[in-house]
A and B are shown apart, each in its own frame.
Chain A
Amino acid sequence: MIEVSELRKSYGEKGRSIIAVDGLSFRIRPGTVFGLLGPNGAGKTTTIRVMTTLSDPSGGACSVAGFDVTRDPASIKERIGVVPQENNLDRELSAYENLLIYGLLHRVTGLRKKISEVLSVVELDESRERVVQDFSGGMKRRLLLARALLTDPEVLFLDEPTIGLDPQIRRHFWNVIRKIGMDGRTVVMTTHYIEEAEALCDMVGIMSKGKMVAFDTVKGLKKLVGEYVVDTITEDGRLEQFMCCDRREADSVASGLQGRLTIRRSSLEDVFVKLTGARI
């Protein structure tokens, strides 16, 4: 269970501070794959930093797996795995050494075997002795996921885990994440690939300017803004969209329009654009 209530986080000194998270509240049940979406700078990474005990909250409360982030961070650290947005691997160490240090820090039992296991999950077996400096961007992302999986964490935090991955490996990541969700473990992930959230997440939260503007299942969110969309190109070449709650409404909207138009089911992307007023 993850509980966030009235969470606030600001950076910098008083007076000139930036408010990154501004009164955020939500709850995630165990076994949920939760997707946190939002435009750049919405506060997703900041929220994850607070949930993973890396940043102290400026106000409000946050608990992960039943433990409070300020009162009992050690118990949270024992139960979570984190893939950060920014790579924090040791560049001058090999893949194996990176996992070794991490495993020792987390007192993983049967470490050697476990390292081989996670390396093969992300298909990096052959690069285990190579220095991370020589890895491609995607390989680093894969190693980060492998590292986060090393402890079999109860809650997994993934901040844009699939950025820079080729389509095959991305699909493979999806399977790994889905499987973790099916094991009854919790996943909190951020992504700018909306189809990824649509494919994976049981629950989706959309953040904008430090606040949660929507929090529901993908289906629920679509219902919220309308299940059908009428796209039409205006005379001056702009795309105009009408969100409609059902097919009948869509048809009637369409009949009143001229020129080229299409009626389609809404996507999570439509929801996102409508709620945040921004493109991705």
Chain B
Amino acid sequence: MNTMSWYPVFLREMLLFRRKLFRVGYLFSAMVVPMIYLVTFGLGLGRTIDVGGMSYVAYLLPGLVAMSSMNNSYSWVSSALTLNRHYFKTFQVFVLAPVSPSAIMLGEVFAGMVKGLFASLLIICTGFLFTGMFVTTLFFLVALLLNCFLFASLGVITGMLAKSHEDTSTYNNFFILPMAFFCGTFIPVDRLPAMLGTVVAMLPLTHTNILIRKTALDNEGVVSLSVLVCYAVVFFSIGSRLIRKYSE
């Protein structure tokens, strides 16, 4: 069955993930960063930010989910792929197997999504502990899944392009970190200077942040949804193509 040929790729990542999960440090570090944001912004700085009537924590939590799922879906895939190609050589095992490049891509992306979703779950739980409630809508779920999918795909792209492990953190500082702060996680995008706002409006996380907070689908929601789908399709095809072109 060719439709399941992504599964061994995914399974490998999950077996590795399971081992990591049991190390005490992992859960702690996955929890601690969003907690810091939640405390410093949500309960401290954030009180001064006007988010249109709602409580700031209620505004911040979905944003933290978007940001964390981006970070976790992206970074794991990107750095693991770089290491697996350059240092551990384990990527050869996939390339030498009779599976299609898109199956390898799909396996890696699904694995990245699991890590993103896992981190999101931790935040949802944390949020629940802090506020006693956490509203999740259908849009929340769709936005979250698309966000994980597209950033895991982007992780494959940079993981395939990076020439060394240092490159990975360069990409991270250039693309991922700015998105975390400017794309509507902490403050609404319309609060940004106009020029920055135009750039930000083109970035995927902005649209995840829009869609993830919707309670009903309006025009803005449809636009964001379409943008996310486009990013997902484009990133996925570029990633598959890079795997197809892979040569040592």
Contacts and interface: CB of A to CB of B under 8 A. Distances in A.
B44 interface: no
Interface string B93-129: 1111111100000000000000000000000000000
B94 A105 contact: yes
B98 A78 contact: yes
Given A89-B90, A106-B98, A97 B8 contact: no
B97 A105 contact: yes
A102 B11 CA distance: 11
Given A54-B247, A74-B98, A106-B98, A93 B92 contact: no
Given A54-B247, A55-B247, A105-B8, A90 B90 contact: yes
Interface string A117-135: 0000000000000000000
A88 B90 CA distance: 5
Contacts of B15: 93, 97, 101
A90 B92 CA distance: 11
A247 interface: no
B4 to A, nearest CB: 9
Contact of A105 (B88, B89, B93, B247): B93
Given A77-B98, A101-B8, A55 B93 contact: no
Interface stretch (A34-42, A79-87, A176-184, A268-276): A79-87
Contacts of B41: none
A53 B12 contact: no
Contacts of B95: 53-54
B15 to A, nearest CB: 5
The listed residue with most B CB atoms (<10 A of its CB), out of A93, A100, A107, is A107
Interface of B: 7-9, 11-12, 15-16, 19, 88-90, 92-100, 247-248
10 contacts: A74-B98, A82-B96, A87-B89, A88-B89, A90-B88, A92-B16, A101-B8, A101-B15, A102-B97, A107-B98
Given A89-B90, A105-B9, 17 more contacts: A49-B248, A54-B248, A80-B96, A84-B92, A87-B89, A88-B89, A90-B16, A90-B93, A93-B15, A93-B19, A97-B15, A101-B8, A101-B15, A102-B93, A104-B7, A104-B11, A106-B97
Q: Across chains A and B, which 10 residue pairs bring their CB atoms closest together, nearest first?
A: A104-B8, A105-B97, A88-B89, A56-B247, A77-B98, A78-B98, A105-B8, A101-B12, A55-B248, A88-B92
